Amino acid sequence: MSGQPFFARGGWIDVTIPIRPGMPVFPGDPPVRIELAQAIAGGASCNVTRLDMGAHTGTHVDAPVHFIEGAPGADAVPLEALIGPAWVVDCTRVTAEIDERALDGLDIPDGESRLLFKTPNSALWDRDGFSDAFIGLTDGAARALAARGIALVGADYLSIAPHGKAAPTHYAFLKAGVVIVEGLVLRDVDPGPYDLVCLPLRIVGCDGAPARALLHRR
């Protein structure tokens, strides 16, 4: 199933959603198209694939310019925020948006600077098409987390914010310098401490970039 993480050798867990035609994308974003531009079967010396998709397809990193005009693009997102200790937060019993009050009820140890929110969202990857029934963080929760000094926040669907409330939450995080990773697959990942490696493509000036994200239990 596309919504399952991949457990690799050495204890690493690939929490990247596979890119494929027909996968869910945010409304208005380009659909995924993958086709051969050159094919051995057609007489070419090698196969060469053409990819056509939006920068916010699947597992991806949001750059500040996504919501802040004139801000840095994906090529300027600090790699030190994307590599290091992370905490998978158990939100599997949360059924509504995560506001400041809900945030206070979650098990988030002090000092964790990278937080990945595991919610019921991961099951949505197995649906046909986009679902707006995903759980996200409100702008109040975003400001509270930014005040704690976190460096990175991750979501297990296509937006860190509740549907229809994207701008305030994204702005609160990005203005504070918090890196946003969206489109993770955390369904079978136990809550708790991990090491994170998440590397977005180095696309100059772009508002986002597809990424490969891996976790290793600490």
CA atoms of 14 and 59, how far apart (whole Å): 11
Note whether residue 184 is domain-resident. yes
Give pLDDT, residue 195: 98
How confident is the model over 62-100, as pLDDT tens digits?
Answer: 999 999 999 999 999 999 999 999 999 999 999 999 999
Note whether residue 188 is domain-resident. yes
Structural domain that includes position 73:
6-19+55-217
Helix (H) or strand (E) holding 196: strand 192-200
Of all residues in the chain, what percent carry a pLDDT higher than 70?
A: 96
The predicted model gives 106-128 an average pLDDT of 94
Q: What is the DSSP string of 104-160?
A: HTS---TT--EEEEE-GGGGGGGSSS--S----B-HHHHHHHHHTT-SEEEESSS-S
CATH assignment at residue 137? 3.50.30.50
pLDDT band at residue 103 using 50, 70 and 90 as cut-offs: very high
Note whether residue 208 is domain-resident. yes
Domain count, the chain: 1
Find all residues with CB under 8 Å of 27, minimum gap 6, and list them: 130
How confident is the model over 17-36, as pLDDT tens digits?
Answer: 999 999 999 999 999 999 99
Give pLDDT, residue 10: 77
pLDDT band at residue 1 using 50, 70 and 90 as cut-offs: very low
Give pLDDT, residue 122: 87
How confident is the model over 137-154, as pLDDT tens digits?
Answer: 999 999 999 999 999 999
Note whether residue 80 is domain-resident. yes
Give pLDDT, residue 23: 94
Note whether residue 38 is domain-resident. no
Question: Is the model more confident about 7 or about 123?
Answer: 123
Note whether residue 162 is domain-resident. yes
The predicted model gives 170-177 an average pLDDT of 98
- Which residues are annotated as catalytic? 66
Q: Return the amino acid letter for 200.
A: P
Note whether residue 61 is domain-resident. yes
